[in-house]
C-alpha cells in the first residue's frame, strides 16, 4: 500500500520531462561545450504520472505503481514515449488558418496592406469559428495544449476552446481606428471570459500595437488590465525598422511607450520584440516577474525583416522568452516544435555560437518560460505534483529519432510533431493515438475551402487598417 | 479505347507536380512579388499517372482513364494527395544515423576532432549496414527515394539500396592518409556497382575534401572518374573559413584546387560550398552542365559557421543547386522536406528579400535541380513520360495543410514529412499507407541501441583523421 492519492488516470512507463530550470546563467564565461548553458531539463526514465482531478498528483518510477492502482485508473501506456508538458503557443492568431499560404513571398508591408488586411474585410464571425476549429485541431494533434490568441471575434475563439477542451490565453484585438467601442468590447470579453471553461480560459487586453493604438488608448488599456487583474498582449517592436521609425517619429522606442502608458507595470506579453534594443531593458527588467517576449523566428526569416527577437540579450537580463508561431497566415503552421527548432538554430546562427541555445535551453523556453509568459508559472509548463495535467506524449520509436543518444536533442532537432501520439488537457484525453477525441474537423475544412474564393476577393478595395508603423 | 500503353500501376486522382522549370532567370529586375522568381512548378489537378516497366508511361486527366485500364492495373488511390517526384537527398552520410544526436551544441572542429572522428574508430561494417537500414527507412517514409551517399564501407550501403528498393548515388569516402589503398578501393567500388540494382545504383568517386586529400590524389581521382565515366562527390569550401584558410596556406581557393586537378572537368557534386566566392565562378561556369552544389542549410545554422551555400550567386551564374541533409550526425534528420524549408527561409533572410527563393523555386531545387546534381537529368526529378517512376504521394488533407490557397507554398512551408503516405521507386511500392514494404527496421534499431555505449567509448584516444582545414 502507498499513501499516494488514488489516480483517475495513470500514464505508465514513459520517460517524463518533469521540469526545466535556468541552468547556468553565466554561460558566456563557462562556455563549456554541452554544458546545457541557459537551461537544464530533468528527464526520468520509465516513470508513471498519476492524475487526480485534472492535476498531476504524483510522478514515481513505474515499478512502484501497484496492480491495485492500475486497476482503479485509466492506464495510458507510455512505452516508447516521452511525456512532456503540453506545449504553449505564446503568440498566434489561430483563426488565420483561413489565410494559410495565401500571401507568400512578399514583404511585411505588402503582406498587410495588399493581402491580409484587405482579405480580413471579408471575414465573418463564422469564418473565425471555423478557422479556430481547424487551428485547435492542428495544435492539439501537435501537442500544443495552450495558445495565446490575439484576434477579432474572440468570443468565437473562446467557444472553440470551451468545446474542444483546449486551453487559451485570449485577447481580443483592437485598433484606435475602431474608437472607444474597440477597447470596451475587448475589456468586456476579458472580464466575461477570464477563468471560464473550468479555468482553461484566461484573458488579456489586446491592443494591436503602439503604431495602431494611441497612447491615450494604451493608458485606458492599462486601466482595464489593472481593474481586471490581467495582463496585456501586444505586438511591439516587431522589427528593427519599427523601433527606428518610432524613434524618428516620436523620440521614444515602442517599449518605452508601453512603459510610459502603464502597460508594462500591469504585466505584458510582447509579441516578437525583434526591435528591442539594449536601452529598452531599463523599462523591462524592473518588471521581469510580469514581462515576457514571444519569439516566432520562422516568420522573421520568411519576411526577411533583418531582425529576430534578441533572445540572448533578454536571457542575460532575466526576461522571460516564450515560443510562439504567430498566425498561420505568416508561419504557415501552428507547430510549436517547429518554432522551437527555428528558434534554437536561428540563435546559434545569429551569434555565431554553436554552443549557445542548447536543446535543453530550448526545452526550457518551450515549457517553463512559455508558461511564465502567459502568467501560468507553477500551474503549467512542468510535470510535477500540483501542476495541471496538460501533457503531450511523444513517440520516440520512429526511425528518425533513433538510436537514442540524447533525448533533449532529439526533442528539439529530430522530432516531428506527428510523433505526438496522445495529448491531455486538465487530465482529459483530447488526442488518443493520433486522433482528436473532442472535435470533428472535416466539416470545418470543407466549409473553409468553399469560403476561399470569397475570402480572397479584394475587389472592394478596402482594408481593415493601414500598415505604416 | 486509347492508344496509351496498358499500365501496370496507375496512381489515380491525385494532383501531379509534373515538372518545374527555371522560371525568370532575370528575377532581380523583375522582382514582381509572387512572380515565382527562379522557378515555376506545373501542377495538374485530378490527374492519373500510368506506370509501365518502372517508367512513367503517361500522365492524363483522371477522367480519361477507362474502367478497362483500371481493371488491368494496380490502382493506387490518389484522392486528396499530391504526387511529387521522389525526393533526392543530394548529400548525406546516411549510416551516421548511428551518431544521431551524439555531438550537439559544439563547433565544427570539436564535432569532428572530439566526437565524430574518435567515435568512427569504433565503427564496424555491421554498424554501417544497420545505420543505413535505419536511414533508408527514415528516408523512404519521408518520400526520399534517392540519396547521394559519401561514406565508408560503401558496399554495405549499396547492399541496403539493393535490398530495400531505394536508389543511391554512392561514393566511397577516402583520405590521403589511407594511402593508395583508399582511392583504389573507392574506384573498385565505383566500377563494380555503377548501374547495379537494376540501375538504381550509380556511383561517384568520393575523395573527402581538398584539405584531407592531396592534389596528386585528386588528379588520380579525376583519372578514375574519366575512365569510368562517372562524377566526383567531394566536400569543398564547406565554410567561408575553409576558403580563407586555403587562400592563406596555398594561395588558391578549394574550388580552384578542384579545377586544377581535373575534378571539375570530369563532373563534380560539391558538398556545401558555403565558402564559394565570386572568383570561383570562373572555374565552375564553363562546366555548368556537370557541376552542382548540395546545400544543407540546417547544418550551417546549427554549427554557426557564419556562411551558407551562396544559392543566389550560383543561381545567377546558372550553376545547379541540389538539396541535401548532410549526415544525421549533424542534421539530426534525413528529411529533405525539412531541408528544403530551411533553404527557402535561410535564403530569404540572408538576402533581406522576402520575394527571393519562392516556394516554386524551392520545389525546382528539390526536384529538377537535385536530379541534375547527381547526373540524372531527364531520368529523375519530374513526373513526365519517360522518367523513372520514383514518386512520393503526399496527403494534403491534414489540418495543418488546409484550407488550400497555394499548393506550392503548402509543400514547402506547411507540409510535414509524415504526410508522405505512399512511395514508389522504379514503379515499385516501397511505402504503402505510411508503412515500409521492403524493410523491417525494428531489429536494426534495437541492435544499434545496444551498440551505442561501444560507439561512444572514445577512451582509445584515437580518431580516424584530424580536422585542420
pLDDT tens string B211-262: 999 999 999 999 999 999 999 999 999 999 999 999 999 999 999 999 999 9
CA neighbor of B340 nearest in space, from B318, B317, B315, B357: B357
First-to-final CA distance of chain B: 64
**What span, in angstroms and rounded, lies between the C-alpha atoms of A293 and A306?**
18
Beta carbons of B104 and A417 less than 8 Å apart: no
Looking at domain A87-334, does it have CATH number 3.30.1330.20? no
Nearest residue of B to residue A442, measured between CA atoms: B399
Q: Chain A window 95-114: which residues touch B at a Cβ cutoff of 8 Å?
A: 97-102, 104-108, 110
Cβ-based contacts of B413 with chain A (< 8 Å): 101, 104, 302, 332-333
**What span, in angstroms and rounded, lies between the C-alpha atoms of B92 and B149?**
5
pLDDT tens string B316-371: 899 999 999 999 999 999 999 999 999 999 999 999 999 899 999 999 999 999 99
Chain B interface includes A417 (CB < 8 A): yes
**What span, in angstroms and rounded, lies between the C-alpha atoms of B238 and B241?**
8
**What span, in angstroms and rounded, lies between the C-alpha atoms of A93 and B27?**
33
Rg (CA), chain B: 21
pLDDT score recorded for residue A112: 93
pLDDT score recorded for residue A107: 87
Cβ-based contacts of B414 with chain A (< 8 Å): 100-101, 328, 332-333
Distance from CA of B96 to the nearest CA of A (A): 10
Chain A interface includes B79 (CB < 8 A): no
**What span, in angstroms and rounded, lies between the C-alpha atoms of A401 and A413?**
9
**What span, in angstroms and rounded, lies between the C-alpha atoms of B403 and A97?**
7
Give, in words, the CATH class of A9-85+382-434: mainly beta
Beta carbons of A104 and B449 less than 8 Å apart: no
CATH 3.20.20.140 in chain B is located at 87-173+205-334
Q: Phi and psi (nearest 5°) for A175?
A: -110, 155
A388 secondary structure, DSSP code = B
pLDDT score recorded for residue B39: 86
Beta carbons of A452 and B303 less than 8 Å apart: no
**What span, in angstroms and rounded, lies between the C-alpha atoms of B370 and B269?**
10
CA quadruple A69, A73, A77, A82: dihedral sign: negative
Residues whose CB is less than 8 angstroms from the CB of residue A450 and which lie 6 or more positions away in sequence, other chains included: none
The separation between CA A378 and the C-alpha centre of its own chain, rounded to angstroms, equals 17
For the segment B70-75, the average pLDDT, to the nearest whole number, is 97
Q: What is the largest CA-CA distance in chain B?
A: 72
Beta carbons of A402 and B334 less than 8 Å apart: no
**Three-class SS state of A151:** strand
Give domain B9-85+382-436's CATH superfamily.
Urease, subunit C, domain 1 (2.30.40.10)
Beta carbons of A448 and B417 less than 8 Å apart: no
Instruction: Tell whether the model's pLDDT for residue B162 goes beyond 60.
Output: yes
What's the angle, vertex CA B440, arms to CA B437 and CA B444, rounded to 5? 150
Nearest residue of B to residue A35, measured between CA atoms: B105
pLDDT score recorded for residue B240: 95
CATH 2.30.40.10 in chain B is located at 9-85+382-436
Over its length of 469 residues, how does chain A's per-residue pLDDT go in tens digits?
A: 568 999 999 999 999 999 999 876 444 434 444 454 678 899 999 999 999 999 999 999 999 999 999 999 999 999 999 999 999 999 999 999 999 999 998 889 999 999 999 999 999 999 999 999 999 999 999 999 999 999 999 999 999 999 999 999 999 999 999 999 999 999 999 999 999 999 999 999 999 999 999 999 999 999 999 999 999 999 999 999 999 999 999 999 999 999 999 999 999 999 999 999 999 999 999 999 999 999 999 999 999 988 999 999 999 899 999 999 999 999 999 999 999 999 999 999 999 999 899 999 999 999 999 999 999 999 999 999 999 999 999 999 999 999 999 999 999 999 999 999 999 999 999 999 999 999 999 999 999 999 999 999 999 999 999 998 8
Transcribe B137-197 into DSSP letters.
HHHHHTTEEEEEEEES-HHHHHHHHHHHT-EEEEEEEE-GGG-HHHHHHHHHHHHHHTTTG
CATH 2.30.40.10 in chain A is located at 9-85+382-434
Mutate to test the interface with B, among A34, A92, A100 (most CBs of B within 10 A): A100
Chain A interface includes B333 (CB < 8 A): yes
Provide the CATH topology of domain B87-173+205-334: TIM Barrel (3.20.20)
**What span, in angstroms and rounded, lies between the C-alpha atoms of B25 and B317?**
10
- The shortest CB-CB distance from A100 to any of B33, B414, B416 is to B414
Q: How many CB pairs under 8 A join A and B?
A: 205
Chain A interface includes B451 (CB < 8 A): yes
The answer to whether residues A343 and A300 touch, using CB atoms and an 8 Å cutoff, is no
**What span, in angstroms and rounded, lies between the C-alpha atoms of B429 and B77?**
13
Distance from CA of A417 to the nearest CA of B (A): 8
Strand partners, A316: none
Alpha helices, DSSP H, located in A251-385: 254-260, 281-284, 297-302, 311-316, 328-331, 336-350, 359-364, 370-373
- The CA–CA distances, whole Å, from A268 to A72, A293, A452 equal 44, 8, 35
Give the number of other CB atoms < 10 A from CB of residue B276: 27
The answer to whether residues A469 and A235 touch, using CB atoms and an 8 Å cutoff, is no
Mutate to test the interface with B, among A101, A131, A421 (most CBs of B within 10 A): A101
CA neighbor of A390 nearest in space, from A15, A55, A136: A55
Give the number of other CB atoms < 10 A from CB of residue A257: 23
Cβ-based contacts of B79 with chain A (< 8 Å): none
Give the number of other CB atoms < 10 A from CB of residue A429: 17
CA neighbor of A4 nearest in space, from A65, A53, A73, A55: A65
Instruction: Tell whether the model's pLDDT for residue B36 goes beyond 70.
Output: no
Chain B interface includes A141 (CB < 8 A): yes
Beta carbons of A409 and B142 less than 8 Å apart: no
User: Strand A291-295 and strand A320-323: pairing?
Assistant: parallel
The answer to whether residues B141 and B420 touch, using CB atoms and an 8 Å cutoff, is yes
Instruction: Tell whether the model's pLDDT for residue B121 goes beyond 70.
Output: yes
Instruction: Tell whether the model's pLDDT for residue B28 goes beyond 60.
Output: no
CATH 3.20.20.140 in chain A is located at 87-334
Cβ-based contacts of A400 with chain B (< 8 Å): 138, 141-142, 333-335
Mutate to test the interface with B, among A306, A349, A362 (most CBs of B within 10 A): A349
pLDDT score recorded for residue B27: 43
pLDDT score recorded for residue A306: 82
Beta carbons of A456 and B405 less than 8 Å apart: yes
Amino acid at each position: 500500500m502507498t499513501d499516494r492519492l488514488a489516480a483517475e488516470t495513470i500514464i505508465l512507463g514513459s520517460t517524463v520531462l518533469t521540469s526545466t530550470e535556468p541552468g547556468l546563467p553565466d554561460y558566456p564565461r563557462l562556455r563549456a561545450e554541452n554544458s546545457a548553458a541557459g537551461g537544464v531539463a530533468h528527464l526520468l526514465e520509465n516513470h508513471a504520472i498519476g492524475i487526480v482531478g485534472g492535476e498531476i498528483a504524483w510522478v514515481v518510477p513505474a515499478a512502484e505503481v501497484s496492480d491495485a492502482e492500475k486497476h482503479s485508473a485509466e492506464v495510458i501506456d507510455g512505452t516508447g514515449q516521452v511525456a512532456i508538458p503540453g506545449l504553449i503557443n505564446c503568440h498566434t492568431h489561430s483563426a488565420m488558418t483561413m489565410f494559410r499560404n495565401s500571401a507568400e513571398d512578399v514583404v511585411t508591408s505588402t503582406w498587410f496592406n495588399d493581402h491580409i488586411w484587405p482579405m480580413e474585410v471579408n471575414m465573418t464571425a463564422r469564418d473565425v469559428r471555423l478557422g479556430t476549429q481547424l487551428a485547435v485541431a492542428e495544435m492539439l494533434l501537435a501537442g500544443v495544449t495552450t495558445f495565446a490568441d490575439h484576434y477579432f471575434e474572440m468570443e468565437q475563439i473562446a467557444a472553440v476552446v470551451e468545446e474542444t477542451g483546449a486551453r487559451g490565453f485570449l485577447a481580443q484585438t483592437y485598433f484606435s481606428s475602431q474608437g472607444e467601442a474597440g477597447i470596451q468590447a475587448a475589456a468586456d470579453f476579458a472580464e466575461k471570459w477570464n477563468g471560464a471553461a473550468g479555468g482553461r480560459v484566461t484573458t488579456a487586453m489586446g491592443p494591436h500595437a503602439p503604431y495602431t493604438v494611441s497612447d491615450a488608448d494604451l493608458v485606458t488599456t492599462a486601466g482595464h488590465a489593472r481593474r481586471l487583474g490581467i495582463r496585456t498582449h501586444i505586438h511591439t517592436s516587431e522589427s528593427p525598422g519599427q523601433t527606428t521609425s518610432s524613434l524618428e517619429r516620436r523620440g521614444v522606442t515602442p517599449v518605452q511607450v508601453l512603459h510610459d502608458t502603464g502597460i508594462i507595470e500591469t504585466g505584458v506579453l510582447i509579441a516578437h520584440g525583434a526591435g528591442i534594443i539594449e536601452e529598452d531593458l531599463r523599462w523591462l527588467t524592473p518588471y521581469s516577474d510580469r514581462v515576457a517576449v514571444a519569439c516566432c523566428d520562422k516568420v522573421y526569416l520568411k519576411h526577411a525583416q533583418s531582425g529576430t527577437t534578441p533572445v540572448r540579450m533578454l536571457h542575460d537580463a532575466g526576461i522571460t522568452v516564450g515560443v510562439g508561431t504567430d498566425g498561420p497566415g505568416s508561419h504557415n503552421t501552428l507547430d510549436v516544435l517547429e518554432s522551437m527548432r527555428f528558434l534554437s538554430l536561428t540563435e546559434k546562427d545569429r551569434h555565431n555560437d554553436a554552443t549557445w541555445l542548447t536543446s535543453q535551453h530550448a526545452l526550457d523556453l518551450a515549457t517553463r518560460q512559455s508558461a511564465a509568459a502567459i502568467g501560468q508559472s507553477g500551474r503549467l509548463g512542468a510535470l510535477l505534483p500540483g501542476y495541471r495535467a496538460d501533457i503531450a506524449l511523444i513517440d520516440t520509436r520512429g526511425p528518425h529519432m533513433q538510436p537514442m543518444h540524447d533525448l533533449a536533442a532529439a526533442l528539439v532537432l529530430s522530432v516531428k510533431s506527428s510523433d505526438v501520439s496522445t495529448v491531455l488537457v486538465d487530465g482529459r484525453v483530447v488526442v488518443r493515438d493520433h486522433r482528436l477525441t473532442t472535435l470533428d474537423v472535416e466539416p470545418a475544412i470543407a466549409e473553409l475551402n468553399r469560403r476561399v474564393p470569397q475570402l480572397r476577393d479584394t475587389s472592394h478595395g478596402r482594408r481593415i487598417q493601414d500598415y505604416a508603423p
